């Protein structure tokens, strides 16, 4: 590669990128603002100090091309597809069956799942693999009482690790292979680097399974706590003809069909049955009063939609799938205070029904409709979206807006699964690019009724959009100003006199750092000719150096924009920029050490 003459635009680009990374990591400024500020600074820099290139000027069109990048389109469209799966509850039953029998072996189940993901990613594009398993991991986390933040980043990292073991495991590998043949070197075989790749993948998976979850906070759990995930509501279920509760009896205070709910009493006519409910089998007309968390009640309603049929069929044409679940608090001056649920006729006045009552003081031993409300009581209500949102204007209750949550539309789960399978199949088989498949899948989710336009729009994470656009602008500026080539030549040249082993290790470290800033594909293309020429200069076969480029360029663990699977899990895992530094940087160091010790022996250097 030819020498690069540094320009002041190159140094200015370095300064802007360094400042952006500091702001990303500190999180003192919202990620979107930092991304926009970086874009604006680069646009201003190259507008007033234009840079003429052989392929044209570095102008606004090239710097803003990231907003139309197929990778960004794919990621955003896949978010919409994933939201369609979540809203329809398409994976609830499979995950319930998978995790219901494995609560005591949750660590083993997760380990097997991550190893399976890594294995499949060696032969299937890792992006659709992560798309498949994001809702699976989210459901498993909920079923196993784990935070999603402890599972989503391991999912992305496992897919990346598996992708570095074969030629088709990652687009990065194929780009390196193409660059190698373009220089007149022998083509890379399908399994040429499977041994060192597997060693690195196993080392990385050990870290992902044993260490990474301990470095990630329980951010999703904190959200659940804020939204009342652990609060106990008093709820009541009437057993009618055809109810799935018929014939069931409570065992240790639990009814098999109502997992996670504690039965307080069973009312049968004038008779009240209290624990331990010996020889009490549920009959039509019985009333079950129980204590349960909001999550448990939501799960029961999802499996038994008739529990909210009254709210959905109040004459306004709303479907059961459009039911909103929310919490409201009885205000201090409310006229509901001192009156029981039967007297307030809540459904008549609001179009919503009360599913549960959360008491802050005494234990309740009676039917739910007989509970007399106090100021500060929290009611769990269900109803059509506009009816629930209309409670904002109520003087009797205060709507806790961030608690609002849509119930899954299970009757649409089949079509959501079909759309999702079609997207994955089309992308995995190469029938069409993943951006086209994902965009078509997002449109199908809306057109089929699995999502409406507003729900699809809310599924798009604007942080990801701005972050990808800013990252691609950084890469364009680094390449156009010669900054990337300048760093590569000078940093590799500094170790040229230390022999092939040290040179190989230094090159791996440099590429691993650059791939998290520039992009894995750009880094691979940039460093492949440098690696080959360096190997020939020190008198060794270039194979080890070419493989080092493949492995190091796949070490996209330390930033969310390092690889698109990192971006995919950013929202579901509730991650911040610093989380990737905390969880990914040690993995990069570990893989660098593993390669530095294993490669000289394996390649005979």
Element (H, E) at 266: strand 262-268
3-state secondary structure of 491: helix
Which is more confidently placed, 439 or 429? 439
Which pLDDT value is given to residue 269? Answer: 76
Task: Find all residues with CB under 8 Å of 254, minimum gap 6, and list them.
Answer: 261, 262, 263
pLDDT band at residue 386 using 50, 70 and 90 as cut-offs: confident
Long-range pairs for 24-32 at CB < 8 Å and ≥24 separation? 24/559, 24/577, 25/577, 25/578, 25/581, 26/578, 27/576, 27/577, 27/578, 31/463, 31/466, 31/467, 31/576, 31/577, 32/462, 32/463, 32/466
- Other beta carbons within 10 angstroms of residue 481's beta carbon come to 25
524-552 pLDDT, tens per residue?
766 777 787 777 777 788 899 999 999 99
Q: Is the pTM of this model over 0.85?
A: no
- Give the CA angle between residues 590, 595, 601 to the nearest 5°: 140
Element (H, E) at 350: helix 346-350
Which pLDDT value is given to residue 275? Answer: 75
Both tokens assigned to 447: 């057109």
Kindly list the structural domains of the chain, giving each domain's residue range(s) and its CATH number in brackets, ordered by start: 8-221+463-603 (no CATH), 320-400 (3.30.70.1450)
DSSP 331: -
**Which spans in 429-558 are helix H?**
434-447, 453-459, 462-481, 483-493, 499-514, 520-537, 543-553
Mean pLDDT of 456-461: 79
Query: Is 29 within 8 Å of 501 (Cβ atoms)?
Result: no
Which is more confidently placed, 557 or 48? 557
pLDDT band at residue 459 using 50, 70 and 90 as cut-offs: confident
pLDDT band at residue 594 using 50, 70 and 90 as cut-offs: very high
pLDDT band at residue 166 using 50, 70 and 90 as cut-offs: confident
Which is more confidently placed, 211 or 286? 211
3-state secondary structure of 290: strand
N-term to C-term CA, the chain: 24
Which pLDDT value is given to residue 302? Answer: 67
**Beta strands across the sheet bearing 262-268:** 271-273, 262-268, 287-293, 232-238, 353-358, 378-384, 323-330, 397-406
Which pLDDT value is given to residue 392? Answer: 86
pLDDT band at residue 309 using 50, 70 and 90 as cut-offs: very low
3-state secondary structure of 357: strand
pLDDT band at residue 361 using 50, 70 and 90 as cut-offs: low
What is the rounded CA–CA span in Å between residue 400 and residue 327? 6
1-12 pLDDT, tens per residue?
445 567 888 888
Cα maximum dimension of the chain: 94
What is the rounded CA–CA span in Å between residue 229 and residue 221? 8
Q: Burial level of 369, CB count in 10 A (0-12/13-18/19+)?
A: middle
Mean pLDDT of 120-147: 75
- Other beta carbons within 10 angstroms of residue 559's beta carbon come to 22
DSSP structure string for 226-259: HTTTT-EEEEEEE--TT-TTTT---BTTB-TTST
Query: Is 382 within 8 Å of 301 (Cβ atoms)?
Result: yes
What stretches of 298-395 adopt beta strand conformation (E)? 323-330, 353-358, 378-384
CA atoms within 13 A on the CB side of 307: 26
pLDDT band at residue 156 using 50, 70 and 90 as cut-offs: very high
The yes-or-no verdict on residue 288 having pLDDT over 90 is no
Q: Select the highest-mean-pLDDT range: 171-185, 279-293, 477-491, 567-581.
A: 567-581
Which pLDDT value is given to residue 312? Answer: 40
Both tokens assigned to 56: 């044209």
Task: Find all residues with CB under 8 Å of 183, minimum gap 6, and list them.
Answer: 528, 529, 532
CA atoms within 13 A on the CB side of 151: 28
Query: Is 160 within 8 Å of 557 (Cβ atoms)?
Result: yes
Which is more confidently placed, 446 or 245? 446
Which is more confidently placed, 533 or 318? 533
Question: Mean pLDDT of all residues in the chain?
Answer: 78
Which residue in this structure is represented by tokens 């055809």? 242
What is the rounded CA–CA span in Å between residue 547 and residue 455? 44
The yes-or-no verdict on residue 17 having pLDDT over 70 is yes
Q: For every residue of 394-422, which 3-state class applies, written as one string?
A: CCCEEEEEEEEEECCCHHHHHHHHHHHHH
Question: Worst-scoring range by mean pLDDT, 52-56, 181-185, 298-302, 331-335?
Answer: 52-56
Which residue in this structure is represented by tokens 């389109």? 73
- Give the CA angle between residues 212, 218, 224 to the nearest 5°: 150
What is the rounded CA–CA span in Å between residue 483 and residue 329? 58
Which pLDDT value is given to residue 241? Answer: 77
């Amino acid at each position: 590669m030819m020498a690069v003459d540094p320009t002041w635009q190159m140094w200015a680009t370095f300064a802007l990128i360094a400042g952006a990374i500091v702001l990303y990591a500190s999180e003192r400024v919202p990620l979107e603002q930092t991304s926009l500020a970086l874009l604006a600074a680069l646009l201003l820099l190259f507008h007033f100090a234009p840079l003429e290139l052989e392929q044209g000027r570095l102008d606004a069109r090239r710097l803003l091309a990231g907003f139309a990048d197929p990778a960004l389109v794919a990621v955003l469209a896949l978010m919409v597809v994933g939201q369609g799966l979540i809203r329809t509850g398409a994976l609830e039953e499979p995950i319930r069956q998978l995790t219901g029998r494995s609560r005591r072996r949750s660590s083993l189940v997760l380990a097997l799942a991550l190893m399976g993901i890594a294995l499949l990613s060696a032969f299937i594009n890792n992006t659709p693999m992560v798309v498949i398993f994001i809702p699976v991991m989210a459901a498993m986390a909920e079923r196993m009482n784990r935070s999603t933040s402890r599972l989503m980043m391991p999912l992305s990292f496992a897919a990346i690790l598996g992708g570095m073991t074969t030629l088709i495991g990652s687009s990065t590998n194929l780009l390196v292979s193409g660059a190698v043949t373009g220089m007149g070197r022998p083509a890379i075989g399908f399994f040429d680097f499977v041994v060192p790749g597997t060693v690195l993948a196993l080392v990385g998976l050990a870290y992902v399974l044993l260490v990474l979850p301990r470095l990630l906070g329980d951010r999703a759990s904190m959200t659940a706590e804020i939204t009342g995930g652990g609060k106990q509501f008093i709820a009541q279920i009437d057993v009618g003809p055809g109810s799935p509760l018929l014939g069931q009896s409570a065992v240790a205070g639990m009814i098999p069909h109502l997992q996670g709910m504690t039965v307080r009493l069973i009312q049968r006519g004038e008779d009240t049955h209290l624990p331990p409910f010996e020889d009490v089998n549920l009959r039509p007309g019985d009333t079950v009063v129980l204590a349960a968390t909001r999550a448990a009640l939501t799960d029961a309603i999802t499996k038994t939609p008739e529990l909210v049929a009254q709210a959905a069929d109040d004459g306004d044409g709303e479907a059961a799938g459009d039911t909103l679940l929310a919490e409201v608090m009885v205000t201090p001056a409310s006229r509901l205070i001192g009156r029981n649920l039967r007297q307030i006729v809540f459904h008549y006045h609001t179009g919503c029904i009360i599913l549960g009552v959360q008491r802050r003081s005494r234990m309740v031993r009676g039917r739910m409709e007989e509970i007399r409300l106090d100021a500060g009581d929290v009611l769990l209500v269900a109803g059509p979206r506009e009816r629930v949102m209309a409670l904002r204007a109520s003087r009797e209750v205060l709507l806790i807006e961030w608690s609002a949550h849509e119930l899954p539309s299970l009757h649409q789960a089949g079509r959501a699964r079909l759309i999702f399978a079609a997207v994955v199949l089309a992308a995995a088989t190469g029938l069409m690019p993943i951006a086209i498949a994902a965009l078509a899948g997002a449109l199908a989710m809306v057109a089929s009724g699995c999502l409406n336009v507003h729900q699809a729009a809310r599924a798009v994470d604007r942080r990801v959009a701005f972050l990808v656009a800013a990252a691609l602008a950084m890469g364009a500026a680094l390449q156009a100003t010669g900054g990337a080539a300048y760093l590569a030549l000078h940093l590799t040249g500094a170790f040229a006199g230390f022999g092939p082993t040290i040179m190989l290790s230094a090159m791996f470290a440099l590429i691993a750092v650059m791939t998290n800033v520039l992009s894995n594909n750009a880094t691979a293309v940039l460093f492949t000719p440098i690696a080959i020429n360096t190997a020939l200069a020190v008198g060794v076969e270039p194979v080890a150096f070419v493989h080092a480029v493949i492995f190091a360029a796949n070490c996209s663990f330390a930033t969310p924009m390092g690889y698109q699977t990192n971006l995919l899990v950013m929202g579901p895992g509730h991650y911040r920029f610093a989380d990737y530094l905390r969880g990914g940087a040690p993995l990069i160091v570990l893989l660098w050490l593993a390669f530095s010790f294993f490669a000289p022996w394996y390649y005979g250097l």
